[in-house]
Amino acid sequence: MIALLTGRVEALEAASCIVDVNGVGYLVQASTRTLSSLPNPPALARVLIETVVREDAILLYGFADPAEREWFRLLTTVQGVGAKVALSILSALAPRDLVGAIAAGDRGALTRVTGVGPKLAIRLLTELREKAGAMPSGSGIASVAPAGGIAGDALSALGNLGYRRIEAQPAVERVIARLGDGAQLDAVIRESLRELAK
């Protein structure tokens, strides 16, 4: 199995690229996030690969970082999520945002992805909720805010003010870490609003 390609980027397309390794051009399908991180042809690049063998084809999927590849592997274990939908999800949501969306139960963040309807979004949230906290987020393991307590109440209040949970959760976590366990709800909300205004 191919796990890594290091070679010259020959072409960049909307959903794939061609990597020339010693005269052999490999067609690699990738998320828009990975494709945008690659240098313009004919520069050298290193791409992590997930090889998928089917009856009629051997397909290569490329990733700029290990976190994205791990999420691709996990997403494709969910019924109804093939490689194309997994790449679509990873194009729309970075690993950190995906961890936050699943932890927060943010169905709307998932249904905005092409190929993910309401039923599939619910399946993703249900099947991946327990696993999301242990998944890489691109910069270490993302912390998951508890559903209840001060953090949960603050997230609910910020949601009522129009903030999406995936953007509010990191701010709430930073504020609670700074203020400590004895933080009061009004202080957490006020400081979180300051964080979000930056």
Give mean pLDDT, residues 153-175: 78
CA distances from 139 to 9, 80, 101, 114 (A): 26, 28, 16, 26
Kindly tell me if the per-residue pLDDT of 51 is higher than 70: yes
Answer whether residue 33 shows pLDDT above 80: yes
The CATH architecture one would assign to domain 149-197 is Orthogonal Bundle (1.10)
With a cut of 70, say whether residue 4 has pLDDT above it: yes
Assigned fold of 4-63: OB fold (Dihydrolipoamide Acetyltransferase, E2P) (2.40.50)
What is this structure's pTM? 0.68
Q: Which CATH number fits domain 66-132: 1.10.340.30, 3.40.50.970, 1.10.150.20, 1.20.1330.10?
A: 1.10.150.20
Query: Does the pLDDT of residue 188 top 60, yes or no?
Result: yes
Place of tokens 């945002």: 97
SS3 of 4, please?
strand
Lowest mean pLDDT of 97-101, 145-149, 161-165, name the range: 145-149
The answer to whether the beta carbons of residues 89 and 113 sit under 8 Å apart is yes
Give 93: exposed, middle or buried? Use CB within 10 Å, 0-12, 13-18, 19+: buried
Q: What type of residue sits at position 128? A: L
**Cβ atoms within 10 Å, residue 192:** 26
Tokens of 13: 């397309």
Where are the CATH 1.10.150.20 domain residues in the chain? 66-132
d(CA 157, CA 100): 17
pLDDT at site 24: 95
Mean of pLDDT values over 11-18: 93
Residue extent(s) of CATH 2.40.50.140 domains in the chain? 4-63
Neighbours of 6 (CB within 10 A): 11
Q: What does the mean pLDDT of the chain come to? A: 85
33 or 137, which is more confident: 33
Reply yes or no on whether the pLDDT at 147 is more than 60: no
